[in-house]
Amino acid sequence: MDIDVIVVGAGPTGLLLAGELALAGIRVRVVERRTEPQRDSRALTLHPRSVELMDLRGLADRFLALGRHMPGWHFAGLNTRLDFTALESRHGYTLFLAQARTEALLEERARELGVEILRGHQVVGLRQDAEGVEAEVRGPGGVETVRSKYAVGCDGGRSFVRQAAGIGFPGTDESLTGMLGDFAVADTDNLDRARGSGVIIAPLEGGLTRFVLLDPERIRTPAAEPVTLEEFRASLIRICGTDCAVAEPRWLSRFGNATRLAGSYRSDRVLLAGDAAHIHFPAAGQGLNTGLQDAMNLGWKLAAEIQGWAPPGLLDSYHEERHPIGQAVTANTEVQTLLAELTLVPQYQRPATALRALLDELLGIKEVNRRLAGQVSALDTTYPPAIAGADPLVGRRMPDIALSSAGCQAARVYELLHTGRFVLLLLGAADGYAQQTAGPGWGARVAVVAATKHDDHPDLDGVAEVLVRPDGHVAWATRTTDAHARHTERVRALTAWAGAPEMKRRPC
């Protein structure tokens, strides 16, 4: 077998996934048809959960050094902003960071971990059997056959991997398109006027300014039709009465609202992540972020399968956990698109304006704002527990609380997850019996830390032990005070998530 995993596509999803696999000791090769990294950036934001994912691996500072904090975000372009600062996270903000920068940082990380990245290489054939996957890869030297144990398609909405695996991609075709343009020259005196007319404007690196708009007279133009500077200027004049003197376009693009979700994220030894698994209108900037979260969920599970310790059903849980998230994201983007589209259709403009005003008012209610902010930020992502009656923490994000421990220098929970292993937290359980019986058999997969909480967190009141997954979600938690019962629960949870122990040792 040449390699363990071939990842097709060197976008943010593919690069993060490759890094996660390499962190676990998996041999990975990334193939990308483009010869150079993407220069232009369709996405510009990392939402709170994505920043947390970088924090989980000790990478957050690299991203924070290059991005700008934005405490609020929007839903359907409504005036009342989503308040990310009210969410339970040390990263309650959107990080404004061009996709090209995100990709560069993730590529840097992947290469540090020894990932092989081949640009100018395109997968033109894909077959699988009971033992692995065979990919025909066309590169500068011709076509070669690459054998791997698994293949992951991170190759976008037109994914060759998805099609070759025979995975369906049901959904709806585009019915609306918008335009974006990155310009080197713009009349800054008229930007507020354009914003007031509904044009999204954002300053970019290098003195560029991005304009994003929906022109009622051009919303039925197919996304495949190129945008011209003349068309863009005419649309600006129609919408806001001025073309803002835009000139020297760095990039012009059209985007549509085609919405599709893969029928399955897995077909035996072929898996999908990112846009290969789900596409939608770029409402609220959720696409790139959802792909990153796919990658973080999949990486450790696929590594466990390859290394032979994955418990039954672990790899299948990737689809079971992430497919419903894809459904939720595609649904909320369709709602946002409809709200925008109705205001552009003459016969619906009056009731649509009234509806948006009502929703603006509702977003002013703290609980409503919190609900939508939690969904868009992905901080409310919760995976269903495998066992009925599990602790309420199970499936949720582990709070990044401050800890103190004699055996560990880490100040917060996320610092314990930098190596990509499970972490078993013994909160206040400093007795030797608990530590001795937690570790044997899972030592290479599970870090055991007896610690004391320094942050008050209501969700952790009374919690004696927590098993945190490599992706930062809670696998198991217990509040029982009975040491024997807790030991029985612990062993059951470790076996269910971290696999059978490699050896058995009689408790001291």
Domain ranges of the chain: 1-44+98-174+257-334, 45-59+67-93+343-381, 177-256, 403-498
Model pLDDT, residue 429: 53
Task: Specify the CATH class of 1-44+98-174+257-334 in words.
Answer: alpha beta
Consecutive H or E run containing 278: strand 278-279
> Which of these, 2, 314, 300, lies nearest to 149 by C-alpha position?
2
> How many Å apart are CA 470 and CA 307, to the nearest integer?
15
Model pLDDT, residue 438: 60
> Which of these, 78, 47, 76, lies nearest to 364 by C-alpha position?
78
Three-state SS for 295?
Answer: helix
What letter does residue 46 receive in the DSSP assignment? E
> How many Å apart are CA 362 and CA 80, to the nearest integer?
9
Is residue 51 within 8 Å of residue 60, measured between CB atoms?
yes
| Residue whose pair of structure tokens reads 């609220």 in the numeric block | 284
Over the stretch 360-389, which tens digit does the pLDDT of each residue have?
999 999 999 999 999 999 999 999 998 888
Q: What is the token pair recorded at 477?
A: 């938690």
Model pLDDT, residue 407: 58
Model pLDDT, residue 507: 42
> Which of these, 276, 279, 322, lies nearest to 298 by C-alpha position?
322
- Strand order across the 45-46 sheet: 45-46, 94-96, 68-70
Sequential pLDDT tens for the chain (508 residues): 679 999 999 999 999 999 999 999 999 999 999 999 988 899 999 999 999 999 999 999 999 999 999 998 999 989 999 999 999 999 999 999 999 999 999 999 999 999 999 999 999 999 999 999 999 999 999 999 999 999 999 999 999 999 999 999 999 999 999 999 999 988 888 898 999 888 999 999 889 999 999 999 999 999 999 999 999 999 999 999 999 999 999 999 999 999 999 999 999 999 999 999 999 999 999 999 999 999 999 999 999 999 999 999 999 999 999 999 999 999 999 999 999 999 999 999 999 999 999 999 999 999 999 999 999 999 999 999 988 889 999 999 999 999 887 655 668 999 999 999 999 999 875 555 555 556 668 988 999 998 888 777 888 999 999 999 999 999 999 999 898 899 999 999 999 999 999 865 444 3
Model pLDDT, residue 145: 96
> How many Å apart are CA 131 and CA 154, to the nearest integer?
22
Q: What is the token pair recorded at 154?
A: 């991170």
- What's the per-residue H, E or C state across 10-22? CCHHHHHHHHHHH
Model pLDDT, residue 488: 92
Paired with 255 in beta bridges are 178
Please classify residue 37 by burial: count the beta carbons closer than 10 Å to its beta carbon, then call 0-12 exposed, 13-18 middle and 19+ buried. Answer: middle
Strands 28-32 and 422-427: what pairing?
unpaired
Is residue 6 within 8 Å of residue 29, measured between CB atoms?
yes
Model pLDDT, residue 410: 61
Q: 0.85 cut: is pTM over it?
A: yes
What letter does residue 460 receive in the DSSP assignment? G
Fold match flag (1-44+98-174+257-334 vs 177-256): no
177-256: in CATH 3.40.630.30: no
Phi/psi for 198 (5° steps) reads 100, 5
Tell which CATH classification among 3.40.50.2300, 3.40.30.120, 3.10.129.10, 3.40.1080.10 matches the domain 403-498. Answer: 3.40.30.120
> How many Å apart are CA 275 and CA 11, to the nearest integer?
10
Neighbouring CB atoms inside 10 A of 209's CB total 20
| Residue whose pair of structure tokens reads 């994914």 in the numeric block | 159
The one-letter amino acid code at 84 reads F
> Which of these, 42, 469, 30, lies nearest to 282 by C-alpha position?
42
Q: At what angle do helices 287-307 and 48-56 cross, to 10 degrees?
A: 30
Model pLDDT, residue 1: 64
> How many Å apart are CA 135 and CA 157, to the nearest integer?
19
Consecutive H or E run containing 145: strand 142-153
